[in-house]
Amino acid sequence: MTSLRAGPDERGLFADFGGQYVAETLMPLVRWLADEYQKAKADSAFAEELGALCRDFIGRPSPLYFAERLSAHCGGAKIYLKREDLNHTGAHKINNCVGQILLARRMGKRRIIAETGAGMHGVAVATVAARFGMPCVIFMGTTDIDRQQANVFRMKLLGAEVIPVTSGTGTLKDAMNEALRDWVTQVADTFYLIGSVAGPHPYPQMVRDFQCVIGNETREQIQAKEGRLPDSLIACVGGGSNAMGLFHPFLDEPSVQIIGVEAAGHGIETGLHAASLNGGSPGVLHGNRSFFLQTGDGQIIDAHSISAGLDYPGIGPEHAFLHQIGRAEYSAVTDQEALAAFHLCSRLEGIIPALESAHALAEAFKRAPKLPKEHLMVVNLSGRGDKDMQTVMQHLSEASQ
């Protein structure tokens, strides 16, 4: 039986999804990047340096925490939280950024660019760029700049140049468009540090591999605590790197149920959402083929989510593949459900989650009461909620009026 962990193929495809749909100018670069990544994977010195940075710079392993009060409140499954919020910079994003900055240095690149939505990827990129002494440019939509001002300040404090993007809705899609335009014009010295399991091959594979530290640790930790594998895994999905990092090490374990949670925004039926698998169709954007929110003639539809990190009209190609073959289930959670979960986790566990992570928590709270007490559920707490205080305060203010 072929392992589900084997993909992508040599063309960067997960069956019908993935690939390299980029400008002719970039094709030699993405092929070189793919070759260099394979060489780095086989280099023990690269692995040793990455491991040391994960331990001493990021602070890994992150804990697997039994959420005792949330479990009791739900009255069913035993809920564990994988605490990626405790990483340096406050989210899972740093795992991938450390790996890619080492690859950039290996390739002789001198300038780093990136896109960011919620700002956590931008902060992580700025952090590693500062650590390795490289100039860094972050593209960020003006809508996201307005709702993530603290992270914009953090990026600038770390030495990054933050370029506002005014096109479209001023969110993640538009920031990625501008980053790709920059990359095309400065291919010689620039490394594009993509933040999710999206973009042209090898990015979906490479980002996934760097994030698999989440799932690999979870396997060891849950077996140490409970003596067996979990029964279910739940993670939020925008582009989907935190989810793929948790899911991938378990793909060949049929007993482990895998649930990704998209952003339903104001509701799938309203059209104001960011749920590509629940409300989109196959197409091509940002260098890969996957599911996207689009019109019948392929024009991309603007996404909506209260969470800046999930406000993207597409999903990583490996998630599209897992959806297609039925290995993973993808549900959707509304803004209101995520906010309720945000407050519940804060008050019962003393942990303020990112609004992205609150989507996963909301799905867990729906499912846990219907499950037996011996059911082991792991929820990926992909980031902390410091960055979302302004958004939540604004929502509470509007709700009280």
C-alpha gyration radius of the chain: 19
CB atoms within 10 A of CB 55: 11
**What's the rounded Cα separation, in Å, for the pair 177 and 158?**
24
Asked if residue 4 lies in contact with residue 251, where contact means CB atoms within 8 angstroms, the answer is yes
- Find where tokens 């994003």 sit: 93
Rounded to 5°, the CA angle 239-208-165 comes to 35
Signed CA dihedral, 301, 302, 305, 309: sign only? positive
Active site residue 93: yes
Distance CA 121, CA 98 (A): 11
- Hey, what amino acid is at 381? L
Which residue shows structure tokens 């063309």? 11
Residue 279 tokens, joined = 């409300």
Q: What are phi and psi of 75, to 5 degrees?
A: 80, 20
Percent composition of the chain: helix, strand, coil (DSSP 3-state, to 5): 50, 20, 30
| SS3 category, 116 | strand
Please provide residue 114's backbone torsions phi and psi, each rounded to the nearest 5 degrees: -160, 160
Q: Which of 115, 217, 262, 363 is catalytic?
A: 115
Q: Which one is catalytic: 93, 109, 173, 387?
A: 93
260 membership: H or E segment, kind and range: strand 257-265
**Rounded to whole angstroms, how far apart are CA atoms 243 and 316?**
10
- How many angstroms separate the Cα of 374 from the Cα of each of 215, 254, 256, 297? 21, 18, 14, 48
Per the annotation, the verdict on 161 as an active-site residue is no
223, 253 contact by CB (below 8 A): no
Does the annotation count 115 as an active-site position? yes
Angle between helices 44-53 and 93-106 (to 10 degrees): 140
**Which residue of the set 241, 307, 357, 382 is catalytic?**
382
Write out the catalytic residue numbers: 93, 115, 382
